[in-house]
Amino acid sequence: MLSRDEMALRPLNFVVVLGGDGTLLSAARSMAKVGIPVLGVNLGSLGFLTEVPLEELYATLQGIEEGRSNVEARSMVHCDVLRKGTTVASYDALNDIVVGKGTVSRLNHCDVYIDGDFVSAYKADSLIVSTPTGSTAYSLAAGGPILMPSVNALVVTPVAAHSLTHRPLVVPDTSKIEIVVNTGPDEAYLSVDGQDGMPMYDGDRVACHKSEHHVKLLRIQGTFFDVLRAKLKWGQR
């Protein structure tokens, strides 16, 4: 590892995030804008994004210093919130953008368009627009598929859709996904990585597409499948 003096002479190479996936999500959104890689170190149990356990921190840093790491660029999803024709907010998410119902109302009504083509009206608790990285988070809990990080796609997953034939929809990440909120007098809520967000009102539009930013994850070993097997208790050979 570098001494404090050596660090001071260098520009910031990467950021070590100690915590769980939640902590990393928050740091990753900030670092994505300035292009600095992050290394996720879990303080508790293994996370999808925080693979390095605390006791391997120094060995990992040593490995990075020795050039045995690689940077994995994870795509993000961007959204603009349009109210009466004006963009009132914009967000980038590493995992997902979620348009959900308010507390009391059971169903969230919205219309979805992809590249201008009408897809369907949805009645559901929420509608998730997830990146491949987010496909192992909330979207998975809602019945979505797992996307390898290298798949150039986004997935639109409804939560508890009223119609049993609504299923997760995988779209090219060159698509524009537009969600029009039809809640009448009820409030809906926009969530960004489950951490940030804002209330939504009838007629609001959420325009989603692949972000121009990426999160750079620093990784030293192991495959995406090693993490899946460990987290999901998949079968070993």
| Catalytic residue list contains 21 | yes
58 binds a second copy per the rule CB under 8 A: no
Q: Which amino acid, 97?
A: I
Burial class (CB in 10 A: 0-12, 13-18, 19+), 171: middle
Q: Using the minimum distance from each CB to a second copy, give the nearer residue, 65 or 115.
A: 115
The span from the CA of 231 to the CA of 197, in Å, is: 28
165 binds a second copy per the rule CB under 8 A: yes
117 binds a second copy per the rule CB under 8 A: yes
The span from the CA of 128 to the CA of 96, in Å, is: 6
x-or-dash string of contact with a second copy, 166-205, rule CB under 8 A: xxxxxxx--x-------------x-x--x--x--------
73 binds a second copy per the rule CB under 8 A: no
Size of the site for a second copy (CB under 8 A): 63
Q: Using the minimum distance from each CB to a second copy, give the nearer residue, 169 or 207.
A: 169
C-alpha triplet 108, 112, 117: angle, nearest 5°: 165
The span from the CA of 82 to the CA of 91, in Å, is: 12
Pull the structure tokens for residue 65. Answer: 């210093």
State residue 206 phi and psi, 5-degree precision.
-115, 115
230 binds a second copy per the rule CB under 8 A: no
One residue of 20, 46, 83, 120 binding a second copy per CB under 8 A: 120
Closest CA to 134 of 205, 194, 199: 194
One residue of 49, 60, 122, 216 binding a second copy per CB under 8 A: 122
One residue of 143, 201, 202, 230 binding a second copy per CB under 8 A: 143
The span from the CA of 29 to the CA of 214, in Å, is: 9
Catalytic residue among 5, 21, 115, 186: 21
146 binds a second copy per the rule CB under 8 A: yes
The span from the CA of 47 to the CA of 41, in Å, is: 9
Point out the residues that are catalytic. 21
In the complex, the residues that contact a second copy under the rule CB under 8 A are 100, 102-104, 106, 111, 114, 117-126, 135, 138, 140-148, 150-153, 155, 159-172, 175, 189, 191, 194, 197, 223-225, 228-229, 232-237
